[in-house]
Amino acid sequence: MSLDTQTFCEPAGLVAGRLRLRDTPIGWAGRDFRACFARSFVEPVYEELTQGYVRSLRLDELLFEASQVFPGLVPDASSHAADPAGAELDQAIFLREVLRSPRAGRHLLRSLQAPSPRALMLQQEFENNGRVELASVTLERRDGVGYLTFSAGDRLNAEDEQQVVDFETAVDLVLLDDQIRVGVLRGGVMTHPRYQGRRVFSAGINLKALNAGRITLAGFLLRRELGPLRKLMAGLQLGGVTREKPWIAAVDGFAIGGGMQILLTVDHVIAESGAYASLPAAKEGIVPGVAALRLPKVGGPRLARQVILAGRRIEATEPAAAVIFDEVVEPSAMDEAIARAVSRLAAPAVVANRRMLGLAIEPEDEFRLFMAEFAYEQAQRIHAPDVLAKVGRFAGKGSKEGPGDGDG
């Protein structure tokens, strides 16, 4: 079957309405051709992969199925191992078109809002025991509250792919548990030499893992945004029903990078008086998740530029911090402040009202289209030479200086 780029990149390519896409020779062509193919045929391709929108595929499943059913459209595992940068850019090109499509993109978002298989496996254990300890997160239910504690104390709760899996699992368990009314996010007590014995919220992306090539586009950068952070904002999709709960974040120490991004998704943020938040992603050369969508809405475009482009750090006690932190308390008063916030957010009408606010603040299609472009931009930046050089320097000094273990 001989096909040229123009045939596929124009609507006329869909002459009969249903091409035999499995027979299309995608692999021989270059990236521009594959991008045109994805743009022209994303909906029938996605329909084929999901068996008529019946199957709900997670990101890794979607990419695997696409590589098998349409060889050459996205890279397979061997291609990814041989050329991670090129493979992840090709994945991003495909996912950008899926997310740009109203029908396919909405289906994918809702598929990714379903409970993770791991959470479903642990659901009964958690409901029975009220406690689950994961590698980097501990979850405990007490008096109708789900306390989710980031517990990677040796690395200042710096985020890697394991942490994203644990984070999503814990968020799912809170949302699935009918006994829990409110979720609380807080950093645990550190064992890191510089912060030993102190609580820290999050140092952001784990630069050592990034430097070692253990941070991937689908496994971390997209899964984090489309999984746990999206679920904090918009809840779970379960049997056609949305399950939402209010969330509180308690910030001890600092919320750097991904830590600050979390704060933009929750309903109430409490900070100790010495805490700060920052988004130093531009310093490392990457894109700070969905912060570019969310921060301008709470702080305005000028503050967003200062924080994202210039690396401005927001101290909890400065006036501008009011758009990030709802309350600032002395460290000794943190537990009491959390209890007060839980009492307020446990009111019966809170869930309905947060849902209506969510529809106004971040409509699904706005988020979907942002994520389409984010996937492509981040895929280009994550393997860029300047990023690799900067990350190598930050990762090397992290063990001595503390926030360098994350800082993204």
Which among 112, 140, 160 is the end of a domain?
Answer: 112
Rounded to 10 degrees, the C-alpha dihedral 252/257/262/267 comes to 70
Which among 85, 112, 139 is the end of a domain?
Answer: 112
Residue 122 has what pLDDT?
98
In a domain, 375, yes or no: no
194 & 328 share domain: yes
Which among 327, 345, 361 is the end of a domain?
Answer: 361
Residue 162 has what pLDDT?
97
- Among 199, 318, 205, smallest CA distance to 253 is for 199
In a domain, 244, yes or no: yes
Residue 407 has what pLDDT?
58
> Distance between alpha carbon 341 and the CA centroid of its chain, in Å?
25
Contacts of residue 12, Cβ cutoff 8 Å, sequence gap at least 6: none
What is the tally of structural domains in the chain?
Answer: 2
- What long-range pairs does 71-80 form, CB within 8 A, spacing at least 24? 71/26, 71/27, 72/25, 72/26, 72/27, 72/28, 72/29, 72/34, 73/26, 73/34, 73/37, 73/38, 73/45
In a domain, 406, yes or no: no
In a domain, 298, yes or no: yes
Q: Which domain holds residue 42?
A: 5-112
Residue 396 has what pLDDT?
66
CATH number at residue 141: 3.90.226.10
Q: Which amino acid does the sequence have at 152? A: A
pLDDT along the chain (408 residues), means of 10: 46 37 51 82 94 97 93 86 92 97 98 98 97 98 98 96 98 98 98 96 94 93 98 95 97 98 98 97 89 97 96 96 98 98 97 97 98 97 90 63 53
Bridge-based pairing state of the strands 276-278 and 254-256: parallel
Q: Which residues pair with 276 in a beta bridge?
A: 254, 315
Integer Cα distance of 146 and 185 in angstroms: 9
In a domain, 47, yes or no: yes
31-49 and 102-112 helices cross at what angle (nearest 10)?
A: 70
104 & 170 share domain: no
Residue 181 has what pLDDT?
98
55 & 124 share domain: no
- Among 281, 186, 183, smallest CA distance to 233 is for 183
Dihedrals φ, ψ of 329, to 5°?
A: -130, 165
Place of tokens 């299609």: 365
95 & 232 share domain: no
